Amino acid sequence: MHLVTHWASTVEKSLKAIPLHQNFRLFLTTEQHTSFPTILLQQSLNITYESPPGVKQNLIRTYESWDNEYISNGGVTRAQMLFILAWFHAITQERRTYIPQGWSKFYEFSFADLRSGADIIDSICRLCNKQKKDFIDPNSVPWTTVWGLFKFAIYGGRVDNEHDVRVLVTYLRRFFHRDILPPGVSTPPARKLAPTIELPSSSRKEDYVQLIHRLSDTDAPQLFSLPDNIESTVQQTASAAVVSSLRRLAAVSSLSSKFDREQWRTQLSPILQLWDRLVNSSPEHRQQLLNRPLRLSKNEIDYSPTDMFAVLENQKVHRMITILDHSLSALNSVVNSSGLLTSDVRDDGLSLISAKVPSRWQKLWILGPEDPAIFIREIVRRKVALLQWLDKAEKSSLLTQPIRLSQIFSARTFLNALRQQTSRLAKVPVDSLKLTCSFSEQILPKSAILKVQIEGLLL
């Protein structure tokens, strides 16, 4: 049902309209989805299924899906590489326990990825073992091909965070490596897959299953190359998530099909008061925040790329803060007087009551904070800071003082503008430039003709 959430409302209406036999049962399956109708959930008997957690249980599930013939068909090295694949798959999946420290977000690493990885292992082993020996020379395996296919085509195809990609590549280079495979039956490998794992010199499924059952039922953080105190962070994150979920459930359950002005006033009062404090502290402050950016004193062609970036960022934040003011003013009018409850106002109100950022706001800043109060504070803070950026851009002094990247919305765009500006000054192609960073200006190369000081970084 998570693939056809738009159709769920049709099911809900049909169940009310069609006379049903007393023994009729309708089974619906779905993954978690924010758009799934709450009423349909309340009318159903809900059963939640989750696979047992842990690397050991993950490996057991993998080997339950592989029969004896599949593992033994191809020699010892192929069986060992299949176990390495199963281990890599378990590590990548179970590392999701430690979000956002393990992975930055939840990635849908699935059994389809495991199956695709096994097909690649099959192809490579057939290519390297044309003589059908039990052992394949580890040096003959094209490891870079394995890394590339897993990084770009299978597991890495789901990963969209640069740090997560580095973690994935590190695992690939550590597990799929010639030093992990023994070159012969009596020769041990140069290093182990993990401290407690020694690959069997066998192609029998039973030997690998026995190895799996000897593993601990609980996963130590070191298994994922994470620090010991990560467990306390997980507990704090889980507690915060539970509290947030309970707050949202309470808010959703308290909402009725009819608009309750008093209820909305009570629940929206904190966010409306926050906006009033941030924007309406004085007429001058409100005018400063909501007025359009100043008319440019020069032609656009006379601005440097970084100065023009400051101009565009100010236009962007002006558009954002104008929409927020219009949205919250409309909500304030609805809950405190006789304002018109339009569909947009209703959607914004329901989202804020559920402690979520309205979808109209999210479109303005896709990577913005998920908490509405933090979202609002950040918009106002950056508006004030970007006005100072614009003032410096007008005076062509933006890069003469330290820069705080947390005051802008797109650090990547700023660095590209800096790149273009350097290219113009140095009169060299943009793609020949390289970004160089140092804690001391004296260490920077003499060719660095455009230097920018960055402050406010958390290291």
Mean pLDDT of 407-424: 92
235-271 pLDDT, tens digit per residue, is 666 666 666 666 655 555 554 446 678 888 888 899 9
Alpha helices in 129-215 (DSSP H): 143-148, 162-175, 205-213
Query: Among 77, 81, 87, which Cα is nearest to 185's?
Result: 77
Residue 109 has pLDDT above 80, yes or no: yes
DSSP 434-449: -----SSGGGS-TT--
pTM: 0.52
Give dist(CA 191, CA 203) in Å, integer.
20
H-run or E-run covering 389: helix 372-394
List domains and CATH numbers for the chain: 5-43 (no CATH), 55-228 (1.10.8.720), 256-443 (no CATH)
Q: What b/e string do you get for 340-354 counting C-beta neighbours within 10 Å, with b at 16 or more?
A: ebeeebeebbebbbb
Mean pLDDT of 385-413: 90
Residue 195 has pLDDT above 60, yes or no: yes
Residue 97 has pLDDT above 80, yes or no: yes
Between 452 and 283, residue with greater pLDDT? 452
User: Cα 102–108–110 angle (5° rounding)?
Assistant: 110
375 with 363: CB under 8 angstroms? no
Mean pLDDT of 442-456: 89
- C-alpha dihedral (32, 2, 250, 353), degrees to nearest 10: 110
Query: Among 60, 83, 52, 79, which Cα is nearest to 194's?
Result: 83
Residue 155 has pLDDT above 70, yes or no: yes
The encoded tokens of residue 338 equal 């006789």
Per-residue model confidence (pLDDT) at position 257: 46
* 10: confidence class by pLDDT, cuts 50, 70, 90: confident
Mean pLDDT of 446-454: 89
What is the gyration radius of the CA atoms in the chain, in angstroms? Answer: 29
Per-residue model confidence (pLDDT) at position 454: 92
At 131, give phi and psi (nearest 5°): -90, 0
Give dist(CA 39, CA 13) in Å, integer.
11
Name the β-bridge partners of 194. Answer: 197
Name the β-bridge partners of 454. Answer: 403
383 with 390: CB under 8 angstroms? no
Per-residue model confidence (pLDDT) at position 186: 63
Amino acid at 445: P
H-run or E-run covering 264: helix 261-279
* 360: confidence class by pLDDT, cuts 50, 70, 90: confident
* 318: confidence class by pLDDT, cuts 50, 70, 90: very high
Give dist(CA 191, CA 226) in Å, integer.
20
Give dist(CA 444, CA 450) in Å, integer.
11
Residue 201 has pLDDT above 80, yes or no: yes
User: Cα 8–254–38 angle (5° rounding)?
Assistant: 10
Give dist(CA 432, CA 203) in Å, integer.
51
Per-residue model confidence (pLDDT) at position 255: 46
Range of lowest pLDDT (30-34, 61-65, 332-336): 30-34
The encoded tokens of residue 138 equal 């580890």
Mean pLDDT of 72-90: 92
**What CA–CA distances, in Å, run from 144 to 140, 141, 328?**
11, 9, 54
Mean pLDDT of the chain: 86
What whole-number percentage of the chain has pLDDT above 90? 36
Per-residue model confidence (pLDDT) at position 256: 43
Query: Among 354, 357, 362, 285, which Cα is nearest to 320's?
Result: 362
Give dist(CA 273, CA 338) in Å, integer.
19
380-398 pLDDT, tens digit per residue, is 999 999 999 988 988 888 9
Per-residue model confidence (pLDDT) at position 149: 93
What is the sign of the dihedral through the CA atoms of 128, 134, 136 and 138? positive
Name the β-bridge partners of 184. Answer: 187
Range of lowest pLDDT (129-143, 283-297, 329-343, 403-417): 283-297
Give dist(CA 79, CA 274) in Å, integer.
61
